[in-house]
Amino acid sequence: MKLIIENWRKWICEQSQYGTMAGDKYVIDLERMNIVASDHGEDQRHRHMRRGKGKISKDSIMKAIEVSIGKIMNDFANGEIKNGEPFHIKAKQGNQKPLNIIAKLDVKPGPDDLVIITVMRKENFQTDDKGFEGRPQKTYSILI
């Protein structure tokens, strides 16, 4: 009986922490997570169209995020990436040049955000970002 009460108390405490960030504990709501494109990200998405190549589709961006989100959340939970730390999703799609997405997590009380900083189709894509806290930027190479 004591074990049941202890488990119930623990569950109640965890539920009451929803929407708060006490210490290093985060509660992430993937079902309500917003995918937010920065102004720069949207400009970059349409830039290819001005060069006669067509814009980068939102469907391609969403597929890349959907395939990589499990790895991203696992690394976030393990402290390999931090809240607000930019990361790189490199998505290979058919015969096209890889789709490169630079994004960051914004985990906070209420719905969380995955913020798209920039997107580009390019081989050997590199950013000016030297990493976060002296670490190299995390890259997630995936197939979509």
Res 58 pLDDT > 60: yes
* Per-residue pLDDT tens digits for 16-29: 444 444 455 555 66
Q: What is the CA radius of gyration of the chain?
A: 18
Whole-angstrom CA distances from 66 to 8, 22, 58, 130, 143 are 33, 28, 12, 26, 11
Closest CA to 39 of 116, 121, 141, 123: 116
Contact partners, residue 118, CB within 8 Å, separation at least 6: 38, 40, 41, 44, 101, 102
Tell me, yes or no, if the pTM score tops 0.75: no
- Distance between start and end Cα atoms, the chain: 49
Q: Which two tokens stand for residue 140?
A: 């997630």
Mean pLDDT of 82-103: 93
Query: 135 or 84, which is more confident?
Result: 84
pLDDT of residue 20: 47
Highest mean pLDDT (candidates 55-59, 112-116, 126-130): 112-116
**Contact between residue 61 and residue 53 where contact means Cβ atoms under 8 Å apart:** no
Highest mean pLDDT (candidates 1-5, 13-17, 44-48, 64-68): 64-68
